[in-house]
A and B are shown apart, each in its own frame.
Chain A
Amino acid sequence: MKFAVELTNSSKKFKQTIVINELSLQVRTGILFALIGPSGGGKTTLIKMIMGMLKSDTGTVTALNKKVPNKQLLHDIGYMAQADALYTDLTGQENLEFFGKMYAMSKKELQDRITYASNIVDLADHLSKKVEDYSGGMKRRLSLAIALIQDPPLLILDEPTVGIDPLLKLKIWQELTQLKNQGKTIFVTTHAMDEAEKCDEIAMLREGSIIATGTPFDLKQQFNAADLDEVFLQAGGETQ
């Protein structure tokens, strides 16, 4: 499997607004891939199309060699939404257990995965607390732990590190790199250019189209920029 995610001429229109416009994108298997772009540029819509939560109006979407939408495919995708979708009246442990049970796992396996995932996001000591007592960053971390719960080969994370302090952010990125080294494909959206810098490949999404792709190095050369911030600004300014 060469590409973990592949979109060909995919579009999405809401009423009269075109959000994704004839977009084609290929994400190689086993890399850390960042989707960057301004707010309202269609990043979340694109993610939902890959997940099969939204159906592409045109073209095809393929993930892990399966044509989207496909319910079985969801088994193999760890998803973290932009907004924390957690049951705040339940504890962290109960949230993890509940979402974990959506994937075929033995009880033992589930407990092991809960321990693993909560350790990565540094929440192991707070699992018995109700989520309504969590801070914003803790909720974000719990969402990430839920995305990791079934040990999926493909991770799709919509702005995973918003509201997380620099130290933990570093730890999470180290872990994402580690997961990548295990052969997983990680697809993140981000606003933080220092994070995009850590990725193998970047695609820049603007007004529903991919305006630039490549390694961070490629992009900097292409735009003749010193850093990715400059690339972001230049690419953004180009079409204005």
Chain B
Amino acid sequence: MKTLAMVKRIINQLKRDKRTLALLFLAPMLVLTLMYFIFESDDPKTTLVVTNAQPTVVEQLKKTSLTIVEKDQYSESKLKSSEYAAWLEFKNPSKLYLLNAEPSSSKAVEMAIASLSMQPQKQKMATTYVYGDKNTKVFDIFSPMLIGFFVFFFVFLIAGMALLKERTTGTLERLLATPIKRGEIILGYIIGFGFFALIQTIIIVLYAVYVLKIESVGSIGYVFLICIIVALVALSLGTFLSSFAATEFQMVQFIPLVIVPQVFFSGIFPLDNMAEWLQGLGRIMPMYYVADALNGVMYKGFGFSDIWLDLLILLGFSAIFLLLNMLGLKKYRAI
């Protein structure tokens, strides 16, 4: 009953705050769309300039992913003023000039030339993609994590700010002067903001899957389930951290401290290449498990048996934060 009153109040308050609602529902769509177009654009063509090449070599080079431009005369300074990635000069010995403005283009050139030396014995190889297919783009791999991140970030911010406002305006203290239980306050927050988080999740997921056509191999039901748990973690963490902030500005200061590091460990950068201690650090961040579960379901088509451990750990995180939150409220009422 008291919890219900809390829920009703929170929904009433947020419903009237149109701008925050827009942030909650429209901002993720905007950013997702922007990232979609940024990453969806085709891989840039890497151009290699060759001089003095024999026609057969040029033929073979043209079979690689590179764009080949033949020149009679070329120089390092010309390479600098051009937009080409590299210059291969055939003489004795041959010399490869890499512009290296984009390390990825340099790698592409090196790989293409390396594959050339294997010719002509190279057999046509059949390729099987375990996950995705040959059209898989970077965006497909980290868009699931992005969805989780939006839910996490916005719920963290809005719920944290809301409880902070209750602290600073004294309504929290006033509320605790009534017979309400601390658990009822927290539960009210969970259900009230959980309601908006649910709507947000539905909007983001449907938009990502049906409008942006982000690949979702697994069940969308699991995506929702994960996102709801993400919202719970964000809510418990946001409200907990708000007790360490005296002002709204101090709440914002938690973003570079708590939110940004989590992004690094959520799959944008491959974790396998990181030092072991860094990987260990990732294990204590909720977003690591969020990304793992969402990527598993949406990209790899995992089912519940593959993600339950991630979900359990996330629930563990929120249980810890909620407990700390309950203890923190003791500051306002001895009992």
Contacts and interface: CB of A to CB of B under 8 A. Distances in A.
Interface string A80-112: 010111111110001001110111100000000
Given A55-B334, A98-B5, A89 B17 contact: yes
B173 A102 contact: no
B334 A53 contact: yes
B201 to A, nearest CB: 25
A62 to B, nearest CB: 14
Interface in B146-179: 169-171, 173-179
A65 to B, nearest CB: 17
Contacts of B8: 98
B178 A69 contact: no
B9 A81 contact: no
Nearest to B176: A53
A86 B171 CA distance: 6
Contact of A85 (B2, B5, B13, B171): B171
Contacts, number: 72
A53 B13 contact: no
A159 to B, nearest CB: 14
A87 B6 CA distance: 12
Interface in B1-48: 1-2, 4-5, 8-9, 12-13, 16-17
Contacts of A72: 179
Dominant secondary structure at the A interface: loop
B125 interface: no
A51 B177 contact: yes
A8 interface: no
A104 B17 CA distance: 30
Interface residues of B, number: 26
Given A52-B335, A89-B13, A99 B178 contact: yes
Interface in A52-72: 52-55, 69-72
A94 B9 contact: yes
Contact of B170 (A54, A83, A90): A83
A188 B9 CA distance: 30
A52 B333 contact: yes
A115 B5 CA distance: 19
A74 interface: yes
B9 A102 contact: no
A101 B2 contact: yes
B179 A87 contact: no
Contacts of A33: none
B92 to A, nearest CB: 80
Contacts of A99: 174-175, 178
B264 interface: no
A102 B180 contact: yes
A103 B2 CA distance: 8
Residue among A52, A88, A99 facing the most chain B CB atoms (10 A cut-off): A99
B332 interface: yes
B78 interface: no
A79 interface: yes
A30 to B, nearest CB: 22
B179 A75 contact: yes
Q: 6 tightest A-B contacts by CB?
A: A85-B174, A85-B170, A102-B178, A101-B5, A55-B334, A69-B335
20 contacts: A52-B335, A53-B176, A55-B334, A70-B335, A71-B179, A71-B181, A71-B335, A74-B178, A75-B179, A83-B170, A85-B169, A85-B173, A86-B169, A88-B169, A89-B17, A90-B12, A98-B5, A99-B175, A102-B2, A102-B178
Given A51-B177, A69-B333, 5 more contacts: A75-B179, A98-B5, A101-B2, A102-B179, A103-B178
